[in-house]
Structure 1
Amino acid sequence: MAKITRQGSNAILSTSVEYHNFVYLAGITADDLSKDITGQTEEVIAKIDQALENNGTDKSRLLSAQIWLKDIRDRDAMNKVWVKWLGEEGRPARACVEANMADPRHLVEIMITACR
């Protein structure tokens, strides 16, 4: 039976799960909720970079991304940060939708699947 590795587990989730060299990240949000969409997206992306590194991979190995925005009108501002971060490394399959957030101060949440 293949090993499943979980990191950052609590009563309801793990921040990452690795199985057969696939890395699944939980939805990641910003900690500083006073930031605007640009600041929150930058913080989320930094947290994604760290989570990927903790799992032995990086943004060049992205497979898919799900992005939730509190207000879809923030899509262009979020995409400016997203495109700058992605560079030419490897663009994932992606969805980006408007959603009610668990905390209304969260402006963006991103969930990633990558491989090692």
Structure 2
Amino acid sequence: MSKITRHDSNAVLSGAVEYHGFVFLAGMTADDLSQDVLGQTKQVLAKIDAALEGHGTDKTRLLQAQIWLKDIRDRDAMNKLWSAWLPEGGAPVRACVQANMADPRHLVEIMITACR
């Protein structure tokens, strides 16, 4: 049986789960919630880069992304940063939807699956 490794776990979730060379990251949000959607997206993408590196992979190995926006009208602004962040030819499968966030100050949340 293959080993499942959970990182930064609590009673509700794990920050990351590794299985069979796959890395599943929990949804990530910005720390500075005073920022607009561009500022929050920059923060989230930087956190994703750091988390992927910490698990032995990077954004060239993305498989899937799930993106939640507080306001879907922010999609174009977020997509400008998202597209610039992605490696050329390396876009993952993706969903992007509007959602009621747990904290109304959160404007974007991104969850990633990658491989090594």
TM over 0.5: same fold?
yes
Name the CA distance, whole Å, in 1 between partners of 2:70 and 2:29. 12
**Which aligned runs of 4 or more in structure 1 are off by greater than 6 angstroms?**
none
Q: Does 1:64 align with 2:59?
A: no
Name the CA distance, whole Å, in 2 between partners of 1:19 and 1:87. 24
Name the CA distance, whole Å, in 1 between partners of 2:99 and 2:14. 22
- Matched letter for residue 80 of structure 2: K
Deviation at 1:8, TM superposition (A): 1.2
Name the CA distance, whole Å, in 1 between partners of 2:31 and 2:89. 26
Give the structure 2 partner of residue 24 of structure 1.
Answer: 24
Name the CA distance, whole Å, in 1 between partners of 2:111 and 2:87. 19
- Matched letter for residue 71 of structure 2: D
Name the CA distance, whole Å, in 1 between partners of 2:108 and 2:19. 26
Deviation at 1:11, TM superposition (A): 1.8
* Contact 2:69–2:99 (CA under 8 A) maintained in structure 1: yes
For structure 2, the residue ranges without an aligned partner over 5 or more in a row are none
The TM-score normalised by the length of structure 1 is 0.97
Q: How large is the RMSD of aligned CA atoms in angstroms?
A: 0.8
Name the CA distance, whole Å, in 2 between partners of 1:7 and 1:89. 30
Deviation at 1:60, TM superposition (A): 0.3
Aligned sequence identity (%) = 76
* Contact 1:60–1:89 (CA under 8 A) maintained in structure 2: no
For structure 1, the residue ranges without an aligned partner over 5 or more in a row are none
* Contact 1:9–1:15 (CA under 8 A) maintained in structure 2: yes
The TM-score normalised by the length of structure 2 is 0.97
Deviation at 1:67, TM superposition (A): 0.3
Deviation at 1:89, TM superposition (A): 5.4
Q: Does 1:97 align with 2:97?
A: yes
* Contact 2:22–2:114 (CA under 8 A) maintained in structure 1: yes
